[in-house]
Amino acid sequence: MSWSAPSAAAAPPPDPVTLDEAADRATDAASWVEENWSTWLSVGLRMVLILVIALVLRHVIRRALTKLIERMNRSVQSVEGTALGGLLVNAERRRQRSEAIGSVLRSVTSFLILGTAALMMLGALNINLAPLLASAGVAGVALGFGARNLVTDFLSGVFMILEDQYGVGDTIDAGVASGEVIEVGLRVTKLRGDNGEIWYVRNGEVKRIGNLSQGWATAGVDVMVRPSEDLDRIRTVITQVAEKMAKDDPWNERLWGPVEMLGLDSVLLDSMTVRLSAKTMPGQSLGVERELRWRIKRAFDEAGIQIVGGILIATEDGAATDPTAGVSAPSALASPTSPQSLAASPIAPPTNLTK
């Protein structure tokens, strides 16, 4: 049995709309549109004008920042390959630093301009911004607490780049890891260790930075000779070696000052130590030390000056440089009361085996 037919039959039919009522409704709608179209047009034009100005301003500022970064890179490339560029400028480091700074500035500029334009457009629609800004503030605080490590890494990376604490190619000691910087990011710094391993160090975890590639380095060499050698002769040989090394390539660029003979660092019974020091290019101190030792050893061999250290050897006249070198270590068997002598002594036969 169907109940839909009686229900439909029981419903009263809708009242027909007359022509006059339809004309009145159309007149009311037209008058409402006529009264508000100017407001809509003004609001729409204002929003379009705000958006156009924001986009144009963003494009102009980003283009100016891009041209500034390109000019900085061109100034670096102009001295690259020269002696001054090799000493004072690291092109890759300057390029990455300028690109990172430009990226940060462009992102901040876009966020500020577009965010301000969005708020102005909402204000043009007569939307109350107070609840929206309050909600955004609460959300920002919650996000800051949840991602505080990420924010810390990002801010630390920004300040490291702006302050030029280190760059690509520098050798640094970051506390948690040390090595050569191969990539600098806003959140993570990538290092290559001495054994080839790659360290990913979060910028927020770095509490101190020891940069071994900035400024200058010091090469120190200690030369140990016999105490009977003539000091004036040693000074003359070392001075000749240092002057010749300062004129040869590539040491004339790696040495930033003369090799100084600081004097005697220690005088012992069997040796004396002469200390040398030189100011070098950053990161080149180990190479300068090795080359200086090589040249001093060859010069001393030609001059007949003997370098000592470690195990002492006998001189040409047969006398040992160490008075105790020919004395052997005492034997434990020399003492009859030592445990070794008692263990090695024969067992005495028993005096009385039977009663």
- On the question of pLDDT at 1 being above 50, the answer is no
Residue 56 has a pLDDT of 92
User: Each residue of 227-277: pLDDT tens digit?
Assistant: 888 888 888 999 888 888 888 888 888 888 888 888 888 888 888 888 989
Cβ–Cβ contacts within 10 Å for residue 82, how many? Answer: 11
Q: Which residues contact residue 24 at a Cβ distance below 8 angstroms, ignoring those fewer than 6 apart?
A: none
Nearest CA-CA partner of 299 in 261, 256, 248, 242: 242
CA distances from 93 to 168, 182, 274 (A): 5, 10, 39
What average pLDDT does the structure give for the chain? 75
Residue 5 has a pLDDT of 47
User: Each residue of 59-117: pLDDT tens digit?
Assistant: 999 888 888 878 877 765 555 555 444 444 456 666 766 777 777 788 888 888 888 88
Average pLDDT over residues 4-23: 57
Tokens of 110: 């876009």
Residue 57 has a pLDDT of 92
Lowest mean pLDDT among 14-18, 156-160, 181-185: 14-18
CA dihedral angle for residue 69, residue 70, residue 75, residue 78, rounded to 10 degrees: 150
Which one-letter DSSP state was computed for residue 258? P
Residue 146 has a pLDDT of 65
Confidence of residue 34 (pLDDT cuts 50, 70, 90): low
Can you tell me the distance from the alpha carbon of 246 to that of 254, in angstroms, rounded to the nearest whole number?
Answer: 9
Task: Please give, one letter per residue, the 3-state secondary structure of 52-105.
Answer: HHHHHHHHHHHHHHHHHHHHHHHHHHHHCCCHHHHHHCCHHHHHHHHHHHHHHH
- Dump the DSSP string for 318-332: S-BSSTTTTPPPPPG
Taken in order 80, 81, 85, 87, the sign of the CA dihedral is: positive
Cβ–Cβ contacts within 10 Å for residue 19, how many? Answer: 7
Q: Where are the alpha helices (DSSP H) in the chain?
A: 4-10, 19-79, 83-88, 91-124, 129-146, 148-162, 231-247, 251-254, 285-303, 339-344
Can you tell me the distance from the alpha carbon of 162 to that of 100, in angstroms, rounded to the nearest whole number?
Answer: 9
% residues pLDDT > 70 (the chain): 68
Confidence of residue 294 (pLDDT cuts 50, 70, 90): very high
Nearest CA-CA partner of 243 in 289, 281, 284, 292: 292
Residue 217 has a pLDDT of 83
Lowest mean pLDDT among 15-24, 40-49, 188-197, 321-330: 321-330
Q: Would you say 215 and 282 are in contact if contact means Cβ atoms under 8 Å apart?
A: yes
**Is residue 49 classed as helix, strand or coil in its secondary structure?**
helix
